[in-house]
């Protein structure tokens, strides 16, 4: 049975925008997880910040970070990511996890991949963006039998928010009135 929904597409295709719009439509549901925002200076991307639905922030990658672990021109701060993930997991109870994204930067952290694996295995639905290309953990999550994979395109990006909202609301247990 499908309980997890992954959105993939090339960089800049609108995966984060889709997840942001979806989270705005689901304000009545206790959300856990995070969205990624670009850090820009004078219109030029300098890095990426993670922002939880509880208001916590962490800089994941930046051009000024040491390139001990790097993706492109960005140094990745694994310690910040792992601290952020630990705090994120403390945000229980959660009825839906939104993860932006399961990508190359994040997958350098074994703690991140372990936590995402646990979330995907849990009964709580997960909606996540996932890199279009990549082996290892990225390929593994796409192949799970409990995952429905959506390829984001300019033609389906508007409809996909509505479709995902319907699927999620259907997957969530109905709240009983007191």
The pLDDT-based confidence of 91 (bands split at 50, 70, 90) is confident
Both tokens of residue 141? 């999550």
Say whether pLDDT at 74 is over 50.
yes
At 48 the pLDDT is 97
What is the rounded average pLDDT of the residues 135-153?
97
- Residue pair 7/131 in contact by the 8 Å Cβ criterion: no
At 50 the pLDDT is 98
Of 10-14, 17-21, 123-127, 130-134, give the lowest mean pLDDT range. 10-14
What is the rounded average pLDDT of the residues 116-145?
96
Q: Which of 26, 47, 156, 175 is nearest to 97 (CA)?
A: 26
Domain spans, the chain = 4-171
At 173 the pLDDT is 67
What is the rounded average pLDDT of the residues 119-127?
95
The pLDDT-based confidence of 20 (bands split at 50, 70, 90) is very high
What is the rounded average pLDDT of the residues 141-156?
96
Using only the alpha carbons of the chain, give its radius of gyration. 16
Mean pLDDT of the chain: 93
C-alpha dist (Å) from residue 93 to 32, 88, 124, 133, 174: 8, 11, 10, 32, 16
Hey, what CATH class is 4-171 in? alpha beta
pLDDT in tens, 34-62: 999 999 999 999 999 999 999 999 999 99
Would you give the distance in Å from CA 55 to the centre of its chain? Answer: 15
At 176 the pLDDT is 35
Q: Can you give the pTM of this predicted structure?
A: 0.93
Residues 151, 157, 158, 164: what is their CA dihedral angle, to the nearest 10 degrees? 40
């Amino acid at each position: 049975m499908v309980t997890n929904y992954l959105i993939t597409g090339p960089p800049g295709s609108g995966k984060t925008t889709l997840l942001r719009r979806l989270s705005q439509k689901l304000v009545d549901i206790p959300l856990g997880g995070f969205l990624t925002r670009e850090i820009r200076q004078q219109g030029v991307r300098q890095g990426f910040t993670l922002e939880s639905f509880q208001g916590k922030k962490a800089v994941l990658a930046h051009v000024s970070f040491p390139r001990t672990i790097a993706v492109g021109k960005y140094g990745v701060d694994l310690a910040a990511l792992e601290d952020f993930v630990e705090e994120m997991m403390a945000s229980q109870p959660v009825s839906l996890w939104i993860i932006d994204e399961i990508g190359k930067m994040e997958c350098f952290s074994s703690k991140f991949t372990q936590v995402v694996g646990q979330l995907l295995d849990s009964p709580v639905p997960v909606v996540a963006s996932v890199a279009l290309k990549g082996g290892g953990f990225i390929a593994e999550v796409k192949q799970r039998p409990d995952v429905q994979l959506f390829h984001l395109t300019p033609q389906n990006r508007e409809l996909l928010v509505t479709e995902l909202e319907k699927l999620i609301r259907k997957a969530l247990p109905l709240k009983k009135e007191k």
